[in-house]
Amino acid sequence: MECGGHPMETIASVRYGRRERVSLTETTGSGAEEGHVRIVDARVIVTCPGRNFVTLKVVTDDGVTGVGDATLNGRELAVASYLTAHVVPLLIGRDPARIEDTWQYLYRGAYWRRGPVTMSAIAAVDTALWDIKGKVAGLPVYQLLGGRSREGATVYGHANAPAVDEVLTEIARYVALGYRAVRVQTGVPGLAATYGVGGDGQFYEPADAAIPTETVWDTDAYLHHVPGVFARVRAEFGPQLKLLHDVHHRLTPIEAARLGKSLEPYGLTWLEDPVPAELQEGFRLIRQHTTTPIAVGEVFNSVWDCHQLISEQLVDYIRATVVHAGGITHLRRIFDLAALYHVRSGSHGASDLSPVCLAAALHLDVSIPNFGLQEYMRHTPDTDAVFPHGYRFDGGYLLPSEEPGLGVDIDEDLAARHPYRPASLPVNRLPDGSMHNW
């Protein structure tokens, strides 16, 4: 049989760095053909340098390594166990160059598709294989994704404080550092605690106890308070600074519509997660009432969680992340769909995603045409030490590493000195004691 003038049975296959001829009839479908580089080891590393992270390190028989983040806050051991029991044995012997095929193999092959545990595990493999491909090619991953569309990723920082006066000071601190965008969260009078406010302001960590901390939520108090906060912030900082706010899934669509409308005078860049997003058509109601842009997606795992939100243009920013949405391969697919509908990226970048995830996100951020904003919460010095990386902050932008691959690694000896500690995300109740969304 002829194929493009060449006999089909002599289709050329590529060993990383050199071409080999492989008979089609000899292939196993796993990429484990004679002459190919193979994966010889895949290690699942759980470490807690201040908080828990799960990392997959893939090793080829040429000695090239790649890393992928598999951290799912509060459910870390579920992903670690999924990887160890169900994924690592399938990786040994596979061709690391076959990123798409490996993705499809793990996704279709699981039968039980999607879900945060499965998709975080697939993401870790996918990210590690992109890292390896970049190292083998001698190029930073963004070059493999089409090269730069911009010089750096505009980031937003978190200005959090119990009182409005303190939050103004926090915002000023970010502006002085060069930030162009700031997410603003304050305490709500009458509530002992609320989302995003607490700790020392610099390092965010909501998973603060082995058994979930319980907080109390009051929608009326919140809706009454928030517009006044943004009135003061705008008055103080003028029209240029991009302002964002995270509702953290706590409202109903009509309550979210009311909030969006009341915030219109303050020109927010986005209102995040106004409602829980399982019901995609619920966003229509918000859209009918307000022009405040909507961002959503940090708990999404696949394009199927957001295709309607995107194709009906019910949101403005899609905030899915490399680690929870199937890796670089699948997140790029989501961003490509979004680009068709004027929806921009706003990748989740909380500090419970490891520096490996942030490094991977930055390669996507600088390459895709429809980049919006990248969330940036600094990791603790202990975390930065465990994950040496080459990305850097410069005047309101994050710049990806120029090293081949992702430009991030894990120091396994140091990681071993920080053993896992059980930690859960909080839960939330209404004043009458019934469960609400945290």
- Residues classed as catalytic: 195, 248
Residue 352 interacts, among Mg ion, ligand KDG, none and using kind-specific CB cut-offs from 5 to 8 Å, with ligand KDG
Residue 121: strand, helix, or coil? helix
- Cβ neighbors of 79 (< 8 A, separation 6 or more) are 54, 70, 71, 72, 117, 120, 121, 124
Q: Which is nearer to Mg ion, 204 or 371 (CB)?
A: 204
**Which run of H or E residues covers position 183?**
strand 181-186
Q: DSSP alpha helices (H): ranges in 59-163? A: 76-82, 88-91, 99-109, 116-137, 141-144
Phi-psi label, residue 115: left if phi above 0, alpha if psi -120 to 50, beta otherwise: left
Q: Which is nearer to Mg ion, 103 or 376 (CB)?
A: 376
CB 364 within 8 A of CB 134: no
Question: Hey, which residues between 271 and 310 contact Mg ion (CB under 5 A)?
Answer: 298
Q: How many helices (H) and strands (E) does the chain have?
A: 14, 20
Q: How far is the CB of 297 from ligand KDG (least distance, A)?
A: 10
Residue 73 interacts, among Mg ion, ligand KDG, none and using kind-specific CB cut-offs from 5 to 8 Å, with ligand KDG
Residue appearing with tokens 């700031």: 182
Residue 191 interacts, among Mg ion, ligand KDG, none and using kind-specific CB cut-offs from 5 to 8 Å, with none
Q: How far is the CB of 311 from ligand KDG (least distance, A)?
A: 24
- Cα–Cα distance between 287 and 282 in angstroms, integer? 9
Q: Which is nearer to Mg ion, 95 or 298 (CB)?
A: 298
**Which run of H or E residues covers position 12?**
strand 12-15
Residue 206 interacts, among ligand KDG, Mg ion, none and using kind-specific CB cut-offs from 5 to 8 Å, with ligand KDG
Q: How far is the CB of 350 from ligand KDG (least distance, A)?
A: 3
Q: Which is nearer to ligand KDG, 94 or 319 (CB)?
A: 319
Tokens matching residue 121: 């595990």
- Cα–Cα distance between 66 and 260 in angstroms, integer? 43
Q: Which is nearer to ligand KDG, 152 or 206 (CB)?
A: 206
Q: Which is nearer to ligand KDG, 115 or 147 (CB)?
A: 115
Residue 95 interacts, among ligand KDG, Mg ion, none and using kind-specific CB cut-offs from 5 to 8 Å, with none
Residue 55 interacts, among ligand KDG, Mg ion, none and using kind-specific CB cut-offs from 5 to 8 Å, with none
Site string for Mg ion, 28-67 (x = CB under 5 A): ----------------------------------------
- Cβ neighbors of 17 (< 8 A, separation 6 or more) are 136
What's the sign of the alpha-carbon dihedral 314, 316, 321, 325?
Answer: positive
- Cβ neighbors of 220 (< 8 A, separation 6 or more) are none
Q: How far is the CB of 30 from ligand KDG (least distance, A)?
A: 35
Q: Which is nearer to Mg ion, 102 or 347 (CB)?
A: 347
Site string for Mg ion, 206-245 (x = CB under 5 A): ----------------------------------------
Binding site for ligand KDG (CB under 6 A): 73, 206, 246, 248, 298, 348, 350, 352, 375, 425
Question: What's the alpha-carbon Rg for the chain, to the nearest Å?
Answer: 23
**Contacting residue, 69, 246, 365, 409, with Mg ion by CB under 5 A:** 246
Q: How far is the CB of 295 from Mg ion (least distance, A)?
A: 8
**Closest residue by beta carbon to Mg ion:** 246
- Cα–Cα distance between 424 and 185 in angstroms, integer? 22
- Cβ neighbors of 332 (< 8 A, separation 6 or more) are 145, 364, 368
Under rule CB under 5 A, how many of the chain's residues touch Mg ion?
Answer: 2
Q: Which is nearer to ligand KDG, 298 or 305 (CB)?
A: 298
Q: How far is the CB of 268 from Mg ion (least distance, A)?
A: 14
Q: How far is the CB of 220 from ligand KDG (least distance, A)?
A: 22
CA torsion, ordered 416, 422, 427, 432, to nearest 10 deg = -160
CB 401 within 8 A of CB 33: no
Q: How far is the CB of 288 from ligand KDG (least distance, A)?
A: 25
Binding site residues, Mg ion, CB under 5 A:
246, 298
